[in-house]
Structure formats: C-alpha cells, structure tokens
Amino acid sequence: PIATISLAVDAMKNEKVLQNREKIAYFSGIIKEENQRMNRQVETILKASQLEKQEVELNLKPLHAHAIIKDVADNFALQLEEKKGHAELLLNADQDLVDADEVHFSNLVNNLIDNAIKYSKDNTPVFVKISTQSNAKSLFIRVEDNGIGMNRETLKRVFERFYRAHTGNIHNVKGFGLGLSYVKTMVEAHHGQIRVDSTLGRGSIFTIELPLKKG
C-alpha cells in the first residue's frame, strides 16, 4: 500500500492531473483504498505473535476466490504501470467457492503478487500471471512471475520466518521477511497446501491448493 500511495501522490502533482477533476478523484480514491488496506495489514502484523502460537481465529465464510484475486490484482495497477509491467489473470477454475477469512485470504494473495514485483529483474518489465483451476475437491491458485528466481538454498528456506534471500547488490528489498511465512501459515490455517518452483534468473511459481466449500 505504501508504494501505491506514494505513486498516487506523485501522480497528483502532475499539472495535467491537477486540471482534471476525474483524475484527481481517481487517485484520491486509490489513496483512500490503500490507506484502509494498510490499516488491515497493520492489524495482521500485530497478530503475528498469535500466529506463532497458532491462536488466530479465522472468520470463515463462503467467498468467491476469483473476486478476491481480481480485487487484489487491481490494487497493483499503479506499481505495475511504473515498472512498465502487467498482470495477466487466467481464472479458469469451474468452481471457486471456498470457506475463507476475507482479510487473511486477501492478504496472502496480496503478499504473493507483492513478492513478484519486489523480486523483479532490473530493466525488465514485470510480468505476473495468476491462474486458477479446480477439480472435484480443490481450487488451485498459481502465481507465476518472470523475476530473479531462487536458488536451491533459498527454495528450502523461503517460508521461514524472517528469512530473506541474499540478492547481492541487485536489489534493495526492504521488509521484515514475514510475507511468505505468513502466506504458508494462512494457507495451512485454511486447510490448504502451498509449494514453490523456481529457477534462478527465470522466475518463480507459487501454487496454492485450497479445499472447495462442500456443497
């Protein structure tokens, strides 16, 4: 959210934007939405100690995963535009209704897309592909990027709390290293599984399997 708010504020300083009420309203709306999303994420971080103790109570309700994915992906439009990149959504699952906590499910999708953008290559447009499939019991969500990828050591440890891959001098990635640990914890709290495949220099693919809501 902070990166998107910053981009929106910069855009609003543009003379052409200042003279266009519709664009002012558009960027103001983005700032308001991102501020609300940041508040939700702060609450999530404050619950990190509860995650450690497995004490988080999920507010589960029937949700259409496709709607959440679209909404979260839309939030990254400005960041992707700045990096001359784009996200492709191939939401082909026949069934996407799951029992999920709306805030935590949104956050885990958010963290995967955010990760793809953070670990993108310099001087290469970011490309993120989010696709879904389903079978009789499960929904599969696949988040694929064309970023810097991971070596074997990083792949082994990527879901550990506070682990951050060494990226040499290529990137100055800030953060606490909670993102993927949180994602794994939340996927498992929703009775799902997550796996990652990656090739150094070519990108990564995260695949989540979640149980469909039982009819």
Model pLDDT for residues 98-107, shown as the tens digit of each residue: 999 998 899 8
**Would you say residue 33 has pLDDT above 50?**
yes
pLDDT tens by residue, 92-132 = 999 999 999 998 899 899 999 988 988 888 888 999 999 99
- Average pLDDT (81-89) is 89
Q: How confident is the model at residue 184 (pLDDT cuts 50, 70, 90)?
A: very high
Please report the pLDDT score of residue 164 as a whole number: 60
Asked whether 159 and 181 are in contact (CB, 8 A), the reply is: yes
pLDDT single digits (tens) 68-81: 999 999 989 888 88
Give CA–CA dist 2/32, Å, rounded: 12
Q: Given pLDDT bands bounded at 50, 70 and 90, which one contains residue 159?
A: confident
